[in-house]
């Protein structure tokens, strides 16, 4: 823990390996509480003394309390005199350690949505609860069969008679469900009540996070050199600016321009970073290389692999030009971290080979600097604002690493890319003019590998068809198509056909994800 963190009220989350432990941290950050997640096996008495938490949360986890050797927190957690909240496995481990009993399975498993009903007595932890029937999210096989001395029941669900229990004297609270997930809609209120009870003042802000992140980057990097692949997207941009603020000229950014950018994109990104942030930036214009190697290629995976491979080659070449680097900076977010860990423990199926700089750290013997690893997209946007990035930049729709290549099904040619860039610019302009940009997660045009017959003026045309795509989403994992009005679609189609030579037919893609994906390839 750093000195800055020491100035704040601290909450300790002891992690037993739940997939959603980070969501607890996120809920707490939303409430301006400083917290740290530490795995149960690294938390001992000495650690508890030095961390001096004002409250402790025990997370869920995949283990089974009745199993020999299953994880336990140190007994000292219950002797600190601070409030403790046990969630799912955390609840069961707490009951067992304090003198209750936990039973395995026996037909009491609950997975997914459940409804909790209140007991007669009320507690402050549940202020704001039970105004309506209270939905919670359960995910448990085992259950508590006997309460520890001092505990009383305050809420019950069909398969969890001890869904909410507490020992008010000691301020120990234990819930069988997951208040941290989206599907427990009133979970935030429960955390709010818990931290109020613990006396937190809510002194942890994005400004404080920024200070802390800067300090950690300095600590990690020392006087080493860092390079960062800047894509122009929000994540890599925020990571670069933060690291630049921490270590200045020790950071060099490389913007690999593969010739598959949107209209004016390369100029805008490079201009912004050079002029506003005065950040050492190499603009690697490698359009000829990429487009040359993509000639005649139409298979989507082959395209992605070629682009990914060349990207690494180009990046490495420029890194060597500046004399190498000790660290590679990446704008990895928390959802990227979870996605790389399979829920079933096995390798996940590859739907698309995502483009990143994978393989590079090993090849060049570099360590990773990932200052956004704990954050979710909306938190990165808030941090970006904190760092002075303009709203227009922060709110930009995501743009994939392989760029327009995956919006050009079939063979990629310069002529098709030029048409696509123009059509995309008109479409985005339409969306902005109608004030819809911020309602949409991502919008773009794909140019289709078909030409169709049309009639313009008195002449016959034989030009490309294109598809408009616009989706709503919270994380890009699932998505629905955006319900534009027919007027909007009609006006946009007319503008594209009139303003973009080479396109004479416009369609709108109404596929959700799943079964579709957001991009066309
Ligand atoms: P899909 O098409 O898989 O896309 O539904 C989900 C989100 O990811 C973006 N995407 C990528 N981003 N490298 C990236 O950095 C990639 O290779 C890549 N492929 C898709 C896509 O634009 C959408 O936001």
| Res. 468: pLDDT tops 80 | yes
Looking at residue 264, the DSSP 8-state letter turns out to be T
Q: Which residue, by CA, sits nearest to atom 3 of ligand 1?
A: 517
Q: Over range 165-187, report the average pLDDT.
A: 95
Which residue's entry shows tokens 């969890």? 160
Residues 266, 301: Cα–Cα separation, whole Å? 25
Q: Which residues line ligand 1 (CB under 6 A)?
A: 352, 354-355, 398, 400-402, 442, 476, 513, 517-519
Written as six digits, the tokens of 136 are 């919670």
Q: Over range 338-355, report the average pLDDT.
A: 44
The model's pTM is 0.75
Confidence of residue 141 (pLDDT cuts 50, 70, 90): confident
* Confidence (pLDDT) at 351: 54
| Res. 370: pLDDT tops 70 | yes
Site to substitute for ligand 1 among 519, 520, 521, most atoms within 8 A of C-beta:
519
Residues 233, 482: Cα–Cα separation, whole Å? 22
Q: Which residue, by CA, sits nearest to atom 6 of ligand 1?
A: 476
* Confidence (pLDDT) at 41: 94
Nearest atom in ligand 1 to the alpha carbon of residue 479 is 5
| Res. 501: pLDDT tops 90 | yes
Q: Over range 77-103, report the average pLDDT.
A: 97
Report CA torsion sign: 417, 419, 423, 428.
positive
Residues 134, 33: Cα–Cα separation, whole Å? 25
| Res. 475: pLDDT tops 80 | no
Question: Which residues are identified as catalytic?
Answer: 88, 178, 180
Nearest atom in ligand 1 to the alpha carbon of residue 397 is 24
Give me ligand 1 centre to Cα 519, in Å.
7
Q: Which residue, by CA, sits nearest to atom 4 of ligand 1?
A: 518
Kindly list the distances between the CA atom of residue 199 and the CA atoms of 6, 23, 53, 58, 410, in Å, as whole numbers in the listed order.
16, 21, 12, 18, 61
Confidence of residue 429 (pLDDT cuts 50, 70, 90): very high
Percent of the chain residues past pLDDT 90, beyond the cut: 73
Nearest atom in ligand 1 to the alpha carbon of residue 399 is 22
Q: Which residue, by CA, sits nearest to atom 14 of ligand 1?
A: 400
Looking at residue 2, the DSSP 8-state letter turns out to be -
- Cβ contact 11:57 at 8 Å: yes
Confidence of residue 345 (pLDDT cuts 50, 70, 90): very low
Q: Which residue, by CA, sits nearest to atom 22 of ligand 1?
A: 400
What are 35's strand-pairing partners?
A: 11
| Res. 227: pLDDT tops 90 | yes
Confidence of residue 482 (pLDDT cuts 50, 70, 90): very high
Nearest atom in ligand 1 to the alpha carbon of residue 519 is 2
* Confidence (pLDDT) at 1: 52
Q: What is the pLDDT of residues 267-325, one digit of tens each?
A: 989 998 988 888 999 999 999 999 999 999 999 999 999 999 999 899 989 988 989 89
Give me ligand 1 centre to Cα 400, in Å.
5
* Confidence (pLDDT) at 476: 80
Average pLDDT score, the chain? 91
| Res. 225: pLDDT tops 50 | yes
| Res. 362: pLDDT tops 80 | no
């Amino acid at each position: 823990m750093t000195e800055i963190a020491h100035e704040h009220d601290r909450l300790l989350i002891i992690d037993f390996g739940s997939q959603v432990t980070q969501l607890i941290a996120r809920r707490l950050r939303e409430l301006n509480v400083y917290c740290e997640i530490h795995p149960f096996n690294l938390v001992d008495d000495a650690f508890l003394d030095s961390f001096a938490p004002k409250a402790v949360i025990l997370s869920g986890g995949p283990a089974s309390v009745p199993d020999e050797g299953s994880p336990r927190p140190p007994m000292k957690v219950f002797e600190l005199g601070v409030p403790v909240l046990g969630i799912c496995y955390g609840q069961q481990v707490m009951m067992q350690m304090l003198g209750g009993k936990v039973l395995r399975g026996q037909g009491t498993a609950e997975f997914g949505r459940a409804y909790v009903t209140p007991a007669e007595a009320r507690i402050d932890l549940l202020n704001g609860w039970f105004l309506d029937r209270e939905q919670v999210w359960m995910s448990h096989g085992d259950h508590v069969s006997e309460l520890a001395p001092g505990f009383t029941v305050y809420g019950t669900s069909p398969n969890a008679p001890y869904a909410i229990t507490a020992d008010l004297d000691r301020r120990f609270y234990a819930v069988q469900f997951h208040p941290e997930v989206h599907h427990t809609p009133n979970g935030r209120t429960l955390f709010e009540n818990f931290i109020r009870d613990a006396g937190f003042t809510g002194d942890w802000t994005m400004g404080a996070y920024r200070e802390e992140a800067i300090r950690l980057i300095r600590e990690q990097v020392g006087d080493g050199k860092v390079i960062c692949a800047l894509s122009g997207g929000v994540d890599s941009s925020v990571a670069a600016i933060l690291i630049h603020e921490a270590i200045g000229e020790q950071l060099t950014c490389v913007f690999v321009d593969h010739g598959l950018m949107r209209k004016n994109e390369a100029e805008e990104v490079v201009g912004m970073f050079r002029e506003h942030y005065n950040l050492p930036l190499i603009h690697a214009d490698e359009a000829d290389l990429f487009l040359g190697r993509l000639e005649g290629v139409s298979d989507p995976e082959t395209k992605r692999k070629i682009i990914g491979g060349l990207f690494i080659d180009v990046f490495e070449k420029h890194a060597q030009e500046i004399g190498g680097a000790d660290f590679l900076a990446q704008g990895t977010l928390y959802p990227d971290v979870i996605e790389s860990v399979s829920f079933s423990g096995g390798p996940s199926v590859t739907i698309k080979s995502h483009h990143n700089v994978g393989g590079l750290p090993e090849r060049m013997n570099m360590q990773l600097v990932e200052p956004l690893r704990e954050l979710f997209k909306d938190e990165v946007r808030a941090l970006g604002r904190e760092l002075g990035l303009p709203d227009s930049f922060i709110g930009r729709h995501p743009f994939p690493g392989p760029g327009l290549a995956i919006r050009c099904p079939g063979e990629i040619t310069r002529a098709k890319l030029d048409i696509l860039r123009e059509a995309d610019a008109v479409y985005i302009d339409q969306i902005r003019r109608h004030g819809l940009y911020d309602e949409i997660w991502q919008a773009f045009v794909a140019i289709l590998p078909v030409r169709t017959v049309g009639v313009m003026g008195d002449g016959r045309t034989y030009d490309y068809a294109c598809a408009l795509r616009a989706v709503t989403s919270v994380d890009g994992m699932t998505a629905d198509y955006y319900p534009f009005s027919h007027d909007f679609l009609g006006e946009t189609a007319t503008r594209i056909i009139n303003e973009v030579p080479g396109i004479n037919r416009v369609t709108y893609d109404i596929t959700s994800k799943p079964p579709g994906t957001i991009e066309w390839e």
